[in-house]
Amino acid sequence: MPLSSTGVSLEQGNATRPMIIVIGMPKSGTETISEFFQCNAWSTSHWSCPLGAGLWAANRTFPAHPFPACGNCMTRWVTDMAGRPVHDGSASLRSACGNYDVFAQVDYEPAHACMFPQVFFLTTLLSYLPHACFILNTRPTSHWLKSVRGWPGMMGRLTDACPIHPRNETGLGKWYDEHKVRASLALRSAQCASEINIEDGVGLTTHLDRFFKLNSSDACLAKYGNKGDTKDRMAGRPGRALSTAGPGVDGSEL
């Protein structure tokens, strides 16, 4: 059952803009989300967190990772938060991963590892980022699996390392479905959350613009990250949004 909110204005330059954490899976519109917020002049990361490269090494004994994946620094941040009294850990996250407004893809699947903080540490994210806005971007499971198959090596890496059974596309699809259900329920306790079916035909950028009340330019609304997958852009029904005391209302795209 969708929740609603009167929302607040978060136009460009508004000092009250929240940290945004995208907790959907890769190949579910994360690049479009990133490009949309970048177009609106929000500091945005997508998979890679180069502003955080070396920051963790400067403050901890760990060496800087040669590829500054957001999944790495966010997992380390979770480890650092674990066991501490619950508080707003957004400053610590920015110290670990970089001074971003938007973390558009926080997972990382190198060979033999499945680093998905939004799956494994969702409760921690919600607890230690109480003022963040969370976006759960979803799509039909069969379409997600098709998109994963289309990305070089991704299907093999996920089925090899992620905690699924059976260890094939069937098991991966079940894992994806379980995350969608679990995350949707968990977000009902968040102060600010939007659940978006990216294939509802309204348009992901339109939903983001309405939810965050950005009054975006036509150029920003036209952003579409996965430009090679245009045949999967679908017409459909209005999306679904969750929000409690956060910006706008709505949810959509690839």
What are the tens digits of pLDDT across the range 63-115?
444 558 999 999 999 999 999 999 999 999 999 999 999 999 999 999 999 99
Structural domain that includes position 115? 20-232
CATH number where 84 lies: 3.40.50
The amino acid at 237: R
Between residues 225 and 114, which one has the greater pLDDT? 114
Helices then strands, each counted (H, E), the chain: 11, 5
In a domain, 172, yes or no: yes
Percent of the chain past pLDDT 70, that is, above it, reads 76
> Is 242 among the domain residues?
no
240 assigned to some structural domain: no
Amino acid (1-letter code) at residue 150? G
Per-residue model confidence as pLDDT tens digits over 157-168: 999 999 999 999
* Among 156, 77, 66, 175, residue whose Cα is nearest residue 111: 156
Bridge partners of 166? none
* Domain presence at residue 248: no
Residue 15 is assigned to a structural domain of this protein: no
- Number of structural domains (the chain) is 1
92 inside domain = yes
Q: Are 17 and 247 in contact (CB under 8 A)?
A: no
**Is residue 6 domain-resident?**
no
Biggest distance spanned by C-alpha atoms of the chain: 51
The structure tokens listed for 159 are: 């089925």
Looking at the domain assignment, is residue 252 inside a domain? no
CA distance 5 to 85: 29
Please state the pTM of the whole predicted model. Answer: 0.82
